[in-house]
Amino acid sequence: MKKRLAGILAVMMVSLTACSGGGEVQQEAVSDDTAAAVQETVNTDTPDAEEVDEDAEFTEGVIATYKIETEDYTEEELEQTVNKMFERAKAYCKEWNYSIEDDRITFEIPMDTEDADVEEILKGLAMSGELLFLDEENYDAWTFGREYEAILTGENIDTAVGTTNQDSMGNTSHDVQLSMSDEGTERFADATTENMGEKIYIICNGEEVSAPIVNTPILNGQCVITGFNSLEEAQQVAASILSGDLPLELTLEDYEIAD
């Protein structure tokens, strides 16, 4: 049984529940030198958030620390990042606690770790969440760091679901099934009509995951991204797409399992 980290890391410590929207903050520029002084106002009159009992014990789950790689950011961006990560974590827990000190965020995640790939789950929580559909011209621009215009982004997606499928030959694939918004459906229909016989490049979390050739216009707003290594990876990518881009770049620095 491990003692809660709040006594050591209680620069900022709050508890988020499954209905959480986080505390309210004032937007203010934050740098590495000032992040330690950040204080968040938590509304304890509603079930959205509650103060953490620093004397309580964290009995089971994962304690994970992420390093904030973004140099300058606002309190609002910090809050949005934590809330988006919590949206992704709902697949594994209904609440969690977190603390912020300097350029590090430490989470206490009460989850079942027995059969879980904990490290992959933790990395998935910090995925950028970026989703781009690009035609060939804009893919070249994206590749070389120039300005580009995406056919679709994650904002044009209504639902994303990680699944495992098997074809008629018995081959198994792990996929993400996408359903587009009305605007996304229209944009994708126009793009696939205009780019017949050409590639549409699909970028997830900064990496090209697929580049299918358009054989026929896609008018129904449905799309499947293939090629993931496991169902868990597909589910993590689906969750990151739905929660949206993380405003801050994070890297998993360390974690330990409490049991």
Q: What is the pLDDT of residues 159-170, one digit of tens each?
A: 999 999 988 898
Based on the domain organization, do 156 and 177 belong to the same domain?
A: yes
Based on the domain organization, do 141 and 122 belong to the same domain?
A: no
Residue 160's domain comprises 131-242
Per-residue exposure over 168-191, b if at least 16 CB sit within 10 Å of its own CB, e if not: eeeeeebbbbbebeeebbebbbeb
Based on the domain organization, do 139 and 55 belong to the same domain?
A: no
Count up the domains in the chain and report the number. Answer: 2
Based on the domain organization, do 114 and 206 belong to the same domain?
A: no
Based on the domain organization, do 250 and 179 belong to the same domain?
A: no
User: Which residue from 74, 73, 94 is spatially nearest to 15, judged by alpha carbons?
Assistant: 94
Based on the domain organization, do 119 and 144 belong to the same domain?
A: no
Based on the domain organization, do 66 and 138 belong to the same domain?
A: no
Share of the chain above pLDDT 90, in %: 49
Based on the domain organization, do 110 and 205 belong to the same domain?
A: no
pLDDT of residue 58: 63
CATH of the domain at 31: 3.30.70.3400
Q: For residue range 181-230, what is the model confidence (pLDDT) as tens digits?
A: 999 999 999 999 999 999 999 998 888 988 999 999 999 999 999 888 88
pLDDT at 30 over 50: no
pLDDT of residue 228: 87
Angle between helices 118-125 and 231-243 (to 10 degrees): 20
Q: How confident is the model at residue 19 (pLDDT cuts 50, 70, 90)?
A: very low
pLDDT (average), residues 67-90: 92
Based on the domain organization, do 41 and 102 belong to the same domain?
A: yes
Q: Quick one: CA torsion of 200, 135, 238, 64, rounded to 10 degrees?
A: 130
pLDDT of residue 245: 86
Q: How confident is the model at residue 143 (pLDDT cuts 50, 70, 90)?
A: very high
Based on the domain organization, do 119 and 139 belong to the same domain?
A: no
What the block records as the tokens of 134 is 């690009």
What the block records as the tokens of 15 is 């508890």
Based on the domain organization, do 156 and 66 belong to the same domain?
A: no
